[in-house]
Structure 1
Amino acid sequence: MAKILRIHPDNPQDNVINEVVTVLKNGGLIIYPSDTVYALGCNIFDIRAMEKLAQLKKIKLEKAHFSIICNDLSHLSNFTKPIDTAVFRFLKSKIPGPFTFILEANKSLPLAYKGNKTVGIRVPDHAITQLIVEKLGHPIASTSIKDDDEVLEYSTDPELIAEKYDSFVDLVIDSGYGDNMASTVVDLTSGEPELIRQGKGEL
């Protein structure tokens, strides 16, 4: 049964975030808010947690392309090939914000990402998400929570989300209603921004 933590979206308390970080360090799955939709997340370096996340999404881990959630660009060189100054400036102008940026992957990727030629990097503009990554000391793997409803693509009510995923995750963060529009996806592998999916972020 998942534990529900109610956390203020603008002023998250350190001790409560520490509880979330402990769950991640122990290989647990969490549901957390972002500047777009609610998402599933886990420790990017825990292969078993990554496998559980893939099972929950009903895909094989080697075919999963989970986003890498960072709190700034300091971890970029851990996962991506060197980027030129123009691309870096473009990234700096858009983060934190509702964007996922596709970049060329390097060979130092965590085990679950081995073989991937590209990675999706995301820096949400959300205090809870940023503090989780900061206190964990490294990014988390993430995937948006989709809804079965034909009209509403993404679930926005954390209580209903918690009810649905109660037996599949270890912890649900409730910070109020989420958005129902996902991030804008931008491919930067060519050096020029290419819009892949229009979401909340405006280019």
Structure 2
Amino acid sequence: FCDSLSQMSKLARVNNTGYRMAKSVTPGPYTFILEATKEVPRRLSHPSKKTIGLRVPSNKALHALLEKIGEPLVGTTIIMPGEEAPLSSAWEIQDRIGDQLAFILDDGTSVIGDTTVVDLSGDEPEVIREGLGSVSALGL
């Protein structure tokens, strides 16, 4: 998670068209796949494509945390082995795996649903997954 597009541009390369597209819909429910810069630890980027998925979410509590730490934050969706649905509430995460985590941020406003994933690492933008973010807002 990034708190701004300027933070995003330090971690990934994006052309002008992709930057304008991301700027028009962020913060919001979009994940952008971009070519990772050397600032990104190897273990966080795709092993063969050297890409990374970045988000600028609209959650105010998460933005406050990102501003406070001044660095991007790694996040993931937790789907337990043998299950199809992700863990979606703080109490459920605490109950199931809380002892394995440094902290859980719960501001009570979580929206459940997939982000729209757009690959901007190639010559043309490509929608990989349609989710909560409007594809038409991207101009595609």
Q: TM-score, normalised by structure 1?
A: 0.58
Size of the aligned set, in residue pairs, is 132
Alignment of 1:98-113 (within 5 A): 98-110=29-41, 112-113=43-44
Letter in 1 for 2:108: G
1:190 is aligned to 2:122: yes
Match of 2:104, SS?
A: strand
Alignment of 1:1-203 (within 5 A): 69-81=1-13, 83-110=14-41, 112-113=43-44, 116=47, 117-146=50-79, 149-150=83-84, 153-176=85-108, 178-203=110-135
Match of 2:93, SS?
A: helix
CA gap of 1:160–1:101, structure 2 versus 1, over 3 A, is: same
Unaligned runs of 5+ in 1: 1-68
CA gap of 1:110–1:143, structure 2 versus 1, over 3 A, is: same
Distance 2:43 2:4 in 1: 22
Are the equivalent residues in 2 in contact too, given 1:102–1:188 (CA < 8 A)? yes
Are the equivalent residues in 1 in contact too, given 2:36–2:45 (CA < 8 A)? no
Distance 2:94 2:45 in 1: 31
Distance 1:182 1:114 in 2: 20
Provide Cα deviations, 1:70-101, integer angstroms capped at 9, x if missing partner.
Answer: 011111332112x3222111010110001110
Q: Report which structure shows greater RCO (CA 8 Å, sep ≥6).
A: 1
Letter in 2 for 1:141: V
CA gap of 1:114–1:160, structure 2 versus 1, over 3 A, is: closer
Structure 1 residue 193: Cα displacement: 2.1
Are the equivalent residues in 1 in contact too, given 2:117–2:127 (CA < 8 A)? yes
Distance 1:183 1:134 in 2: 22
CA gap of 1:98–1:114, structure 2 versus 1, over 3 A, is: closer
Q: Report which of the two has the higher share of strand.
A: 1
Unaligned runs of 5+ in 2: 136-140
Provide Cα deviations, 1:44-64, integer angstroms capped at 9, x if missing partner.
Answer: xxxxxxxxxxxxxxxxxxxxx
Are the equivalent residues in 1 in contact too, given 2:79–2:87 (CA < 8 A)? yes
Q: TM-score, normalised by structure 2?
A: 0.81
Distance 1:91 1:84 in 2: 11
